[in-house]
Chains A and B, each alone.
Chain A
Amino acid sequence: MIVDHLVIKVGMADLKVVIGRDEILKTTGLGSCVGVILFDPTIRVAGMAHIMLPTSSIARDGVVNIAKYADTAIPDMLEQMISLGANKGRLVAKLAGGAQMFAFSGTSDTMRIGPRNVETCKEILNNLRIPIHAEDTGANFGRTIEFHCSTGMLLIRSVQQGVKEI
C-alpha cells in the first residue's frame, strides 16, 4: 500500500505544530541552527522548530520572531502543542544540528554559535523537564531532518555521513 505522506516544511527561524498521522515535519540545511522536535507519542502531536540563536535577549529588532530564538521558540511550541491536546508529562524531545561549519583558530562567541545553540536548547528542555530521547548534534556538517509522526522517528540526512535514523 502506498501511504501518502504529507510533508510539512519548516523554514529557517520557523516552527510548526501538527496532530500527526502520516505527516512528516521537515527542515533543510541545518548548519549552526538547531532543529528541536517535541512529540507526544500517545496522541501524536508533534512540533518542530528551526532555531537560529540561543536567546532573544540579544535581539536588536523590536518585533521578535519567536521561532528564531531557543528561549522563545521552545516554550511557544510547547504551548501550541498543549492547546492541541498534548500532555506535557508525556513529551519527549529530539535534537539535531548545532554544527560548527567552519574551523577557526580565534573562536569568538559568535563563531561558536552552533554549540551555544545546542547548550541553550538542552538547558531549556531540562528546565521544562522534557527528556531528550535522541540527538545528533555538533560536529562540522550540515543536516536535513525529517520527523515521521507515525513512528516518532527522526531521519537525518547529511552530505558527509549519509542517512541516519534516531
Chain B
Amino acid sequence: MDPLKQLAEFQLDVLKEVGNIGAGHAATALSKMLNKPVDMKIPQVNILPFEEITNSLGGSEEVVIAIFLRVVGEAPGNMFFILTQESAKKLLANMAGIEIEQEGAYSEMEISALQEIGNILVGSYLSSLADFTHLSLQPTVPSLAIDMAGAILSYGLIQFGEMGDHALLIDTKFLEGDHEVEGHFFFIPDPESFETIFRSLGVPFE
C-alpha cells in the first residue's frame, strides 16, 4: 500500500500551509526584485501518479526552465522552481531589462540572470520553511536546466520511485501583477520526511 494514500485531509492542509508560507516569502522576494506586486495562488497539494506530475506544466515534452536544489538536513527533499519559456523571457525583460532576441536560445548572461533569480526564490522558500518548522534544512547549490518537463521532474521522483508509483507535490503558482509571468514551485519532500515535518508542527502522525 502506498503510504501516501493514508494521509488525512487535515495533514494535506498542513502541507498546503507549508507551501503557502514558503512560496509567500519567495513571492515577496520576487516582488521586491521586480518592484511590482506578485500574486500567489493557493497551493495545490497533489498525490499524483508519476505519469501525471507534468500535467500542470503542459505535459512531459513541454520545454521548461528549472532551478533544482536538493534539500538536505532533517527533512530532505527536492525543490524545483519552474518557469515556462515565455515567462522566463518576460521575467528577464521586466527585471534585468534583457530582451531575448532568439526564441529558445539563451545567452550566458540570460542564463546566469535566471539562475540568480531562481537561487533567490528557492533560497527564500527554503529558509522560511526552516523557520516555520524549526527544522535544520540546508540547500545544495542550485542547478539550472532548460529541458523537457518530464525529464526534469522525474529526477525529483527517484526517492519516491523506491516506495511507490505516486509522488506528493506541493505546487504553488505565482503570477506577476499583470499576469505575465507564471512560475511554479514544486516541493517534493522525501517519503520519510513527512513524519519529521508533521511532528515538528505538532501534527499527529502514526
Contact = CB atoms under 8 A, between A and B. Distances in A.
Do A and B belong to a common assembly? yes
Interface of A: 11-14, 28-33, 52-53, 58-62, 65, 68, 99, 101-106, 110-111, 113, 140-144, 159-160
Interface stretch (B6-14, B34-42, B88-96, B159-167): B159-167
A104 B2 CA distance: 30
A119 to B, nearest CB: 16
Contact of A159 (B1, B147, B161): B147
B61 interface: yes
A148 B162 CA distance: 31
Contacts of A13: 50, 161, 165
Interface string B51-72: 1001000011101000010100
A142 B154 CA distance: 10
Contacts of B54: 29
- How extensive is the interface on chain B, given as a class? 20 to 34
A104 B146 CA distance: 16
> Top 8 nearest A-B pairs by Cβ distance?
A29-B150, A142-B151, A31-B151, A29-B60, A102-B143, A142-B148, A28-B60, A142-B147
10 contacts: A11-B50, A52-B154, A52-B157, A58-B162, A103-B143, A105-B141, A110-B158, A113-B158, A144-B61, A144-B148
Given A28-B61, A61-B163, A104 B143 contact: yes
A159 B63 contact: yes
Contact of A29 (B1, B146, B151, B161): B151
Contacts of B162: 53, 58-61
B158 A53 contact: yes
Contacts of A28: 59-61, 148, 150
A58 B160 CA distance: 11
Contact of B154 (A12, A58, A61, A106): A12
Contact of A68 (B148, B150, B151, B165): B165
Given A12-B51, A29-B149, A31-B152, A110 B63 contact: no
B148 A29 contact: yes
B148 A102 contact: no
Contact of A141 (B1, B151, B154, B163): B151
A143 B148 CA distance: 8
A60 B191 CA distance: 11
Contact of B50 (A12, A99, A101, A140): A12
Which of A13, A28, A29, A59 has the most chain B CB atoms closer than 10 A to its own CB? A29
Contacts of B158: 32, 52-53, 110, 113
Interface string B135-157: 00000110101111111101101
Contacts of B143: 102-104
